[in-house]
């Protein structure tokens, strides 16, 4: 039997499993892509956008995070997911207010801090703009951002790409309420210039300090929020001259505060994460007793 806790960050929800070293190998073997899909299914399973494993670090970090999308694929990092993990650790008295916690991820070590209002600030590191490291085959434009022109519904659109430890595609829209996120997101996720697929973000500029974004996540589909995506959109917007350094990003699930000065600076994301409920699951395929 495995115990889980469900958390959400702006409606982006995750099942968090805290696994000891003794149980890790058995749990990892049991969490097949098919089992992850089943657990994340909102009708036949518990329901979530992904599964997070809280593990002992392999390095000098305080904790290690492995995260799986709802389609069973492993992700490099997730901004909303890492906030949920840190809130989970706080709720279980494993970290206190103002204490800096470093999380080991496939995208590298990520520093975090819990604030007085229980929001969580995450040092997201520096954005990746070198195409081969995102990875993407898009070419860098005059503003220093990988970009290209695509045709959607017989209209030409410019797409941009920014890496945040995972790939992001950004497309600016005049009226975000008119976007067919399901159709366009699914098509762009598999764009041929992204060898590992990509997250897709539709952005409307509201002002120099506010962006509205709708999200299509790689391996998940339409979600209510994406932390790394919000950071990527602010980076693109600042480099294109659309926004300032401090931006409030409005997503369907809520708002994130993003701060980024320039190419030589790290990005800081601040937002909430909340506990939903706990439970346990078992099956002939997943039991580790």
Per annotation, catalytic residue among 78, 84, 231, 233:
78
State how far the Cα of 125 lies from the Cα of 60, in Å rounded to an integer: 17
Q: Which two tokens stand for residue 150?
A: 């695509």
Mark whether 233 is an active-site residue.
no
Contacts (Cβ under 8 Å, ≥6 apart) of 61: 102, 103, 104, 109
State how far the Cα of 42 lies from the Cα of 168, in Å rounded to an integer: 26
For 127, counting Cβ atoms within 10 Å of its Cβ (0-12 exposed, 13-18 middle, 19+ buried), the class is buried
- With H, G, I as helix, E, B as strand and everything else as coil, classify residue 267: strand
State how far the Cα of 272 lies from the Cα of 118, in Å rounded to an integer: 7
- With H, G, I as helix, E, B as strand and everything else as coil, classify residue 264: coil
Contacts (Cβ under 8 Å, ≥6 apart) of 237: 203, 205, 211, 243, 247
Per annotation, catalytic residue among 61, 226, 231, 233:
226
State how far the Cα of 5 lies from the Cα of 258, in Å rounded to an integer: 27
For 281, counting Cβ atoms within 10 Å of its Cβ (0-12 exposed, 13-18 middle, 19+ buried), the class is middle
What count of Cα atoms within 13 Å lies in the side-chain half-sphere of residue 84?
Answer: 36
Mark whether 78 is an active-site residue.
yes
Give me the count of residues in the chain: 289
Contacts (Cβ under 8 Å, ≥6 apart) of 180: none
Could you tell me which residues are beta bridge partners of residue 53? 17, 66
79-91 helix and 227-239 helix, angle to the nearest 10 degrees: 130
* Residues acting as catalytic residues: 78, 226
């Amino acid at each position: 039997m495995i115990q889980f806790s469900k958390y959400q960050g702006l409606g982006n929800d995750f099942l968090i499993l805290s696994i000891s070293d003794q149980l890790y190998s058995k749990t990892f073997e049991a969490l097949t892509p098919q089992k992850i899909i089943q657990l994340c299914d909102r009708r036949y399973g518990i329901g979530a956008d992904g599964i997070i494993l809280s593990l002992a670090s392999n390095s000098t970090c305080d904790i290690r995070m492995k995260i799986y999308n709802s389609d069973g694929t492993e992700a490099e990092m997730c901004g909303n997911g890492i906030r949920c993990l840190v809130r989970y650790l706080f709720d279980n008295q494993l970290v206190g207010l103002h204490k800096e916690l470093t999380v080991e991820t496939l995208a590298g070590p990520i520093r975090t801090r819990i604030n007085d209002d229980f929001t969580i600030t995450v040092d997201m590191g520096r954005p990746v703009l070198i195409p081969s490291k995102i990875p993407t085959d898009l070419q860098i434009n005059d503003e220093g951002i990988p970009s290209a022109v695509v045709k959607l519904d017989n209209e030409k659109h410019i797409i941009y790409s920014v890496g945040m430890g995972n790939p992001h595609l950004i497309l600016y829209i005049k009226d975000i309420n008119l976007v067919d996120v399901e159709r366009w997101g699914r098509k762009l996720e598999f764009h041929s210039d992204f060898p590992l697929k990509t997250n897709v973000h539709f952005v409307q500029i509201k002002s120099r300090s506010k962006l509205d974004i709708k999200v299509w996540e790689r391996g998940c589909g339409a979600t209510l929020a994406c932390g790394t995506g919000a950071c990527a959109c602010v980076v693109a917007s600042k480099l294109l001259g659309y926004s300032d350094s401090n931006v409030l990003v409005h997503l369907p699930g809520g708002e994130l505060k993003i701060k980024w000065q320039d190419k030589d600076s790290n990005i800081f994301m601040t937002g909430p994460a909340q506990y939903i409920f706990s439970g346990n699951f078992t099956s002939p395929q997943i039991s580790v007793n």
